[in-house]
Amino acid sequence: MRRIWPPQDAGELDDEQLEQLYGYPASRWLCVNFVASADGAVSLHGRARELSNEPDQRVLRLGSDLADVLLVGATTAMVEEFRGVHPDDETAARRARHGLAPIPPTAVVTTGRSLPEDAPVVTEAVVPTFVITTEAAPERKRAAWAAAGATVVVAGEREVDLRLAVDTLAGHGLRRVDSEGGAQLFGALLAAGVVDELRLTVSPTLVSGVAGRIATGVEIEPARLELLSVVAESDTLMVRYGVRR
């Protein structure tokens, strides 16, 4: 991979340099990962994974390998078939080198409607998943998630209070958060004012059609971005933006 921005730092990146670039610059940091087509589509045939490629997967993996916790919306977890992190030797060595827990947990955000009791992200996770939900979520579901091994966090009455949710994760020592979708969650995180960084891969694909955008939901005061880095490999661009408060 080649860094092309900022110009003074342009050049080929070795594995260590790429790892430094996609690390977390502070002890408490929330970054959002997305891949989108060149014409702005967030999915192909209903799935983000079909827009992804090897360069995107490489930086996406760095984000999760160096995080304390992965944050994902329940619908995305089901559509993309999340099962939590199942580390290979490379991930295990990387996390050990950075003094991180062997396996980062996944935190799933749901009002209670969109996450089944037997969701694979809960039942097939190697370490307990955090299910972040609301007081309105059915008691039966909350009990089932807990029985399957999840740590159930109630944050909000009918809608998830994401600022409270992020604070709760930090209280568990999970301060470096890697959010991997979806668009509704990204929009809600922006509305809550808790996003520090956007990591966007521009897939060399044109999709057209009716695919959505990377952030949806309530309107917000536009968040101004600062370009942190641009990395290229083949026809793919990987862009990092800081979110200005």
* pLDDT above 90 (res 19): yes
pLDDT band at 157 (very low <50, low <70, confident <90, very high): very high
Would you say residue 113 has pLDDT above 90? no
Mean pLDDT of 211-219: 88
**Span 30-39, average pLDDT:** 95
5: amino acid identity, one letter: W
Contacts of 219 (CB under 8 A, 6+ apart): none
Under 8 Å between Cβ of 99 and 105: no
Average pLDDT, the chain: 94
Q: Which runs of E-coded beta strand occur in 7-47?
A: 11-12, 29-37
pLDDT single digits (tens) 40-91: 998 888 888 888 899 999 999 999 999 999 999 999 999 888 999 999 999 9
User: pTM value?
Assistant: 0.93
Cα separation, 7 vs 5, in Å, equals 5
Q: Give CATH 3.40.430.10 domain extents, the chain.
A: 1-68+176-244, 69-174
Per-residue pLDDT tens for 160-177? 999 999 999 999 999 999
Provide mean pLDDT across the span 173-197: 95
Q: Which residues of 40-76 are buried (b: 16+ CB within 10 A; e: fewer)?
A: ebbbbeeebeebbbebbebbbbbbbbbbbbbbbbbbb
Question: Is pLDDT of 245 > 80?
Answer: no
**The domain made up of 1-68+176-244 is a member of CATH 3.30.565.10:** no
| Percent residues over pLDDT 70 in the chain | 100
Q: What is the CATH number of domain 69-174?
A: 3.40.430.10
d(CA 13, CA 40): 27
Taking the alpha carbons at both ends of the chain, their separation in whole angstroms is 30
Order the strands of the 130-133 sheet from edge to edge.
11-12, 2-5, 225-233, 236-243, 197-203, 29-37, 176-179, 69-73, 106-109, 130-133, 151-154
* pLDDT exceeds 90 at position 26: no
Per cent of the chain over pLDDT 90 is: 83
Contact 152, 4 (CB under 8 A): no
Mean pLDDT of 106-124: 94
pLDDT of residue 31: 97
130 pLDDT band (50/70/90 cuts)? very high
Contacts of 202 (CB under 8 A, 6+ apart): 36, 37, 38, 236, 237, 238, 239
